[in-house]
Structure 1
Amino acid sequence: MTNLYFIRHAHSTYTPDEKGRPLSERGLNDAKRVTEVLKREDIDHIISSPYQRAIQTVQGIANHTNKQMEVVDGFKERRLAKGPVEDFTYAITKVWEDEHFSWDGGESNMEAQERGVQATYDVLKKYDGKNVVIGTHGNIMVLIINYFDKKYDFAFWKELGMPDIYKLTFERKELISVIRIIC
């Protein structure tokens, strides 16, 4: 069995700099809780999206385990549009209503899901039988889980915490279970 611990990043203060946006003070404190929770799991590898807020959320467990973090572009957040959208709620609802729809310069659900699932399959192949932390983002995380189990959908995404931890257990490429780990 391979366990993937998908970690939705902790709270960050909004800036238009998607890649460099750091955690807020609250987010930094919550990231410490994530580290404490993950200390109880026997973590073999740490992976993160290239975005600063995801890296900061899992940096503590990388430090604790003395393991180098691997940055994987496939786990970055889905690009909703070329630039900031006027009405985020409308824009995100629209892409979830039609999995093939994308805003100008953005990724459809299908495109983002394909990217995230490919990254997940790469991790499953590379780290078969291991426990792997993946620092990522809410939308791409739910799109990945949704590929394996359709009950993880837009309504589920709206209920996610920040941070949030979901442990996905796989036997090769088959999803066996999804468990939320409270932090």
Structure 2
Amino acid sequence: MKQTEIYLVRHAHSTYSPDEYGRGLSSNGHHDQKLLMHQMAEKHVNVILSSPYKRAIQTVEGIAQQHDKDIQLIEAFKERTLAGKPVENFQEAIEMVWHNESYAHPGGESNDEARNRGIDALKDVLKTYEGESIVIGTHGNLLALIMSYFDQKYDVTFWRNLDMPDVYCLTFEEETLVNVQRIWERVN
């Protein structure tokens, strides 16, 4: 049976702004993006997909150039919408949606909704690119939600401990997850 490798890449550091689509990487983010490019240099990569958010695209750009691939934008891999407008206490707002997975703040997505969006997109990728190696530029909350579909140990604590960037290689046989390996290693 052909195995499919999915590299879920959480974007590198970006300076916060309310412009989700246009917010790019910080200088630290650009530095780490170059480290990530070197760590992914020896990996076999067939396809590069990304959230349409600039910080996710910029994080995988070096990998795309290195492997001479175009980046295909997939709307479904954008970050979960926590609320329709900025929340007063971000940590409290995140805790609420992780502890009640069907709850959504006004104008936002529940964990269930965001996870379903991410998993539907992931299943499409697994069907379309079966047996290939795919890099997906995405975001911390969505990455944790996708992984939590397969194993509940990928929870809010896992999300809190993610690095920026971070990379997990998920190996699949058809739609069955058979292995998870963290790829990113911060080297000073």
Query: TM-score normalised by the shorter chain: which range applies?
Result: over 0.9
Alignment-derived partner of residue 171 in structure 1: 173
TM-score normalised by length of structure 2: 0.96
Offset of residue 80 of structure 1: 0.2
Equivalent of residue 89 in structure 1, options 80, 88, 91: 91
Alignment-derived partner of residue 81 in structure 2: 79
Alignment-derived partner of residue 138 in structure 1: 140
Equivalent of residue 162 in structure 1, options 158, 161, 164: 164
Matched, 1:111 2:99: no
1:165 match: secondary structure:
strand
1:156 match: secondary structure:
helix
- 1:118-154 CA distances to partner (integer Å, 9 max, x unpaired)? 0000100010001100000000001001001111111
1:50 match: secondary structure:
coil
Q: Which amino acid aligns with 1:142?
A: A
CA distance in structure 2 between the partners assigned to 1:177 and 1:64 by the alignment: 26
2:93 match: secondary structure:
helix
Equivalent of residue 27 in structure 1, options 16, 19, 29: 29
Q: 4+ residue stretches of structure 1 with deviation over 4 A?
A: none
Offset of residue 83 of structure 1: 1.2
Alignment-derived partner of residue 123 in structure 1: 125
Offset of residue 65 of structure 1: 1.1
TM-score normalised by length of structure 1: 0.99
1:84 match: secondary structure:
coil
Q: 2:36–2:184: 8 Å Cα contact kept in structure 1?
A: no
CA distance in structure 1 between the partners assigned to 2:65 and 2:183 by the alignment: 21
Alignment-derived partner of residue 53 in structure 1: 55
2:163 match: secondary structure:
coil
Q: Which amino acid aligns with 2:164?
A: M
- RMSD, matched Cα: 0.6
CA distance in structure 2 between the partners assigned to 1:145 and 1:104 by the alignment: 25
Gaps of 5+ in 1: none
Offset of residue 182 of structure 1: 2.7
Q: Which amino acid aligns with 2:165?
A: P
How many residue pairs are counted as aligned between the two chains? 183
Alignment-derived partner of residue 68 in structure 2: 66
Gaps of 5+ in 2: none
Alignment-derived partner of residue 148 in structure 1: 150
